[in-house]
Amino acid sequence: MFKGSKVLQPEDLNQMNNIIEKLKTQSKCLVVLIVDDSGHLITNTESDPSIDPILLGTLTAGNFGATNELAKLIGEAEFTLVLHEGNKENIHMLAIGDCGILVVIFANTTPIGLIRMYSQKSVTALLPYLEKMQVEKKASKKDLPSDEDLENLFNW
């Protein structure tokens, strides 16, 4: 079987960005990220430059995956929600079907109920876009670096 690639189209990215911007405003959270199931960051709201969104995406995907192994161990099919509480900030992660994770970072002063409700709403809105990405399409050769491009890129 060929597992090609996931494809993200500009108009879909726009829609997803609208959804997470709205989530950010409504829930009064600090940052929102969408991560796919292999740990790639799909998109995020603007954040504090000290937060590296790529790293955050990778770590949350790993964390979420590990938590779901825990779920299986105790006989649950999955945990759809993971919450980490810090002294000042918290992380709320919610599965987007089985295609990705919605990650919300919020301050302790923000009520968790608000985060929970708006995350849930956003997940419902986001799911069709993430499902649409799973097209397993090949890339066009003209967009990809050739062997020669790679050789010349730097001194390997």
Partner 1 sequence: MTMLNYAKKEIICKIVYYGPGLSGKTTNLKFIYGKMDTQYKGKMIAIATETERTLFFDFLPLDFGKIKGFTTKFQLYTVPGQAIYTNSRKLILKGADGIVFVADSQIDRMDDNKSSLKDMALNLREQGLDIRNIPLVMQWNKRDLPNIVPVEKLEETLNFRKVPTFEGVAHKGIGVMSALKTVIKMVLNKLGG
Please give the Cα distance from 156 to 152 (Å, whole number). 9
Q: Does 139 bind partner 1 (CB under 8 A)?
A: yes
Member of 8, 30, 81, 127 binding partner 1 (CB under 8 A)? 8
Neighbours of 100 (CB within 10 A): 29
**Tokens in use for 77?**
């099919």
Q: Does 66 bind partner 1 (CB under 8 A)?
A: yes
Residue written as token pair 């069709």: 128
Member of 37, 95, 102, 123 binding partner 1 (CB under 8 A)? 37
- ∠ CA(95), CA(101), CA(105), 5° rounding? 110
Which candidate, 103, 143, 134, places its Cα nearest to that of 119? 103
Member of 18, 21, 25, 38 binding partner 1 (CB under 8 A)? 38
Nearer to partner 1, 47 or 58 (CB): 58
CB of 29 vs partner 1, minimal distance in Å: 23
Q: Does 149 bind partner 1 (CB under 8 A)?
A: yes
Nearer to partner 1, 62 or 128 (CB): 62
